[in-house]
A and B are shown apart, each in its own frame.
Chain A
Amino acid sequence: MRTIAEINDKIQRQQAEVWTVEEVKARTPELGIAEVAQRVDVITTGTFEPMESSGAILNLGHTDPPIKIYQCWMDGVLAYAGFGAVDLYLGASQPAEYGGAGDPDPSDGTRDALRSPVRRRGGGHVIADLIAGKSVQVRAIGQVTDCYPRASLETTITRDTINQFYLYNPRNLYQNFIVGVNGGDRPLYTYLGCLQPRLGNAVYSNPGAIAPLFNDPYLDVIGIGSRVFLGGGIGYVAWEGTQHFPLQKRLPNDTPIGPAATLALIGDAKQMDPQWVRGCYFSSYGASLMLGVGVPLPVLNEEVVRRCTVQDSEIVAPVVDFSIPRRVRPTFGLVSYAQLKSGRLTMDGKTVRVAPLASLHLSRQVAIALKQWIDAGKFTLTTPVAPLPSDRTFLAQERISSQINLE
């Protein structure tokens, strides 16, 4: 039907026809798949949700005398330093430490600033602050060697005073996820927020039919090297994500019934926009990073459009009870995203309030922003250099769990 090169040619002439996936879902029933596939070159999708398996690679630049960093804290958050001298990796869910070697000096008046709201911080907040142009305090201890004589370093950095600053996120863009509930009798504080006892609420975290990977269930047009919108900048699909599980059970429409494919993403954080990168904190659970990610789907054939017509009523997620502290938790069965988005669910004869965790509003805005980039000729598509694996199984640490087996 058309190739990526032809699409890019049209994008560069600002003549490409770009629709958001919501427009495709709304207009295809009336126009028909063939007609939409004729007219549309690119379909944009987006999501905005907490993605805790994210992090930033930073290179501070060499000091004089130079240092080989052994341990390092950025605004009190431990960064991994087990690379070359001043290379660091700052993980989004690493909590801020207080009173440790990375703690800012209390005598300089920062002690008040360390009271509880600030304690609810972690790597995600530091990454978001750097992207917002704020300065971040760095404290490092060096391993003294003949070539790296410096023993310690205390300085302040911004994104403009360091060499490289890019996100490398080992697991983003879950293709479907779960719905959390709590059948126990005390509140549970989880990565889905607070789950109230006795099925007090339910939380789902995937934006459903508008989510990028629900619209390409077998990753036919997404692969390694696909260019994406990442945090308001340009990013790429680097690899399969951790826990990538394409063999998840699927419905007849090929969408998975639970967590399935994931992607590892990479992108220059210096180009990112604070609007799409937000540090967040879940009460009594920890810090994370909310990220806007947009994926363009090239309309190479009618099948691409057909996949994008999937509706919230046709996709499901499992309802999982978090009150059982096991890896495999009992489920209350599958529920459709249309039901979840209605805000109510009936379980055990009881009406349960349902809240999302992905921002449906900002997910939609990501798809619109990406469409605007393509319309303006600022964003072209790439041909993947390799496909993502379609046969990964989902291994668990059986040996460890059998040691604590209570059965």
Chain B
Amino acid sequence: MPVTYRLAKDFNVAANIIRAQVAPNQIGTLLVELSGDIDQLDAAMEWLRLQDIGISTLSREIQIDMESCVHCGLCTGICPTEALTLDSETWQLNFARSRCIVCEQCIPTCPVQAISTNL
């Protein structure tokens, strides 16, 4: 089924495919980022459910691999919301997820590529 085509044509919703696992005549999964008018997004999701497509939503989140992190602190000077800070006692990196706005500026900053998103 041309799902992404219908989303665009009928609901004016842009679907950016992040990952796809689809084979002919089999159940597949599609990870897409949808953007569009909020009401149209709701309508698009409703339509998807009517087509018997199971949907689960996921929001983009920052992930920090603490095994690779060297606690250099470079990301703490870039993060606009101070979600990333250094503990002033241990000098280890702290990540306050609730403050993170997922602007992703920290990702290219990290010299050891310890920061990524879940998608």
Contact = CB atoms under 8 A, between A and B. Distances in A.
A360 B71 contact: yes
B117 interface: no
Interface residues of A, number: 32
A203 B71 contact: no
Contacts of A355: 73-78, 86
B5 interface: no
Contact of A194 (B76, B78, B85, B112): B78
A19 B57 CA distance: 54
A50 B77 contact: no
A78 interface: no
B74 A193 contact: yes
Majority secondary structure, B binding face: loop
Given A354-B77, A355-B77, A360 B109 contact: no
Interface stretch (A134-142, A247-255, A276-284): A276-284
A356 interface: yes
Interface in B74-119: 74-78, 85-86, 88, 90-92, 108-109, 111-113
B112 A280 contact: yes
A396 to B, nearest CB: 28
A364 interface: yes
A359 B72 CA distance: 4
Given A117-B113, A290-B111, A360 B73 contact: yes
B71 A278 contact: no
B71 A359 contact: yes
Interface in A50-103: 50
Interface string A344-365: 0000000001111111111010
A365 to B, nearest CB: 9
A361 B109 contact: no
A201, A283, A361: most-surrounded residue (chain B CB, <10 A): A361
A356 B109 contact: no
Contacts, number: 75
A283 B72 contact: no
A115 B54 CA distance: 32
Interface in A365-394: none
B71, B112, B113: most-surrounded residue (chain A CB, <10 A): B71
Interface in B15-56: none
B70 interface: yes
B73 A356 contact: yes
A361 B91 contact: yes
Contact of B111 (A282, A360, A364): A282
Nearest to A194: B109
A202 interface: yes
Contact of A343 (B70, B86, B113): B86
Interface in A161-184: none
A282, A355, A357: most-surrounded residue (chain B CB, <10 A): A355
A290 B112 contact: yes
28 contacts: A193-B74, A194-B78, A194-B109, A196-B78, A201-B77, A201-B78, A203-B74, A278-B70, A279-B112, A280-B111, A281-B113, A282-B111, A283-B108, A283-B109, A290-B70, A290-B72, A290-B112, A341-B88, A343-B85, A354-B77, A355-B73, A355-B75, A355-B86, A356-B72, A357-B73, A357-B74, A358-B72, A360-B71
Closest 8 CB pairs of A and B: A355-B77, A360-B91, A280-B111, A361-B71, A201-B77, A361-B91, A283-B108, A356-B73
Given A117-B113, A359-B72, A360-B71, 15 more contacts: A48-B70, A49-B72, A193-B111, A194-B78, A201-B78, A203-B77, A278-B70, A290-B112, A343-B85, A353-B76, A355-B73, A355-B74, A355-B76, A356-B73, A357-B73
Interface of A: 48-50, 117, 120, 193-194, 196, 201-203, 278-283, 288, 290, 341, 343, 353-362, 364
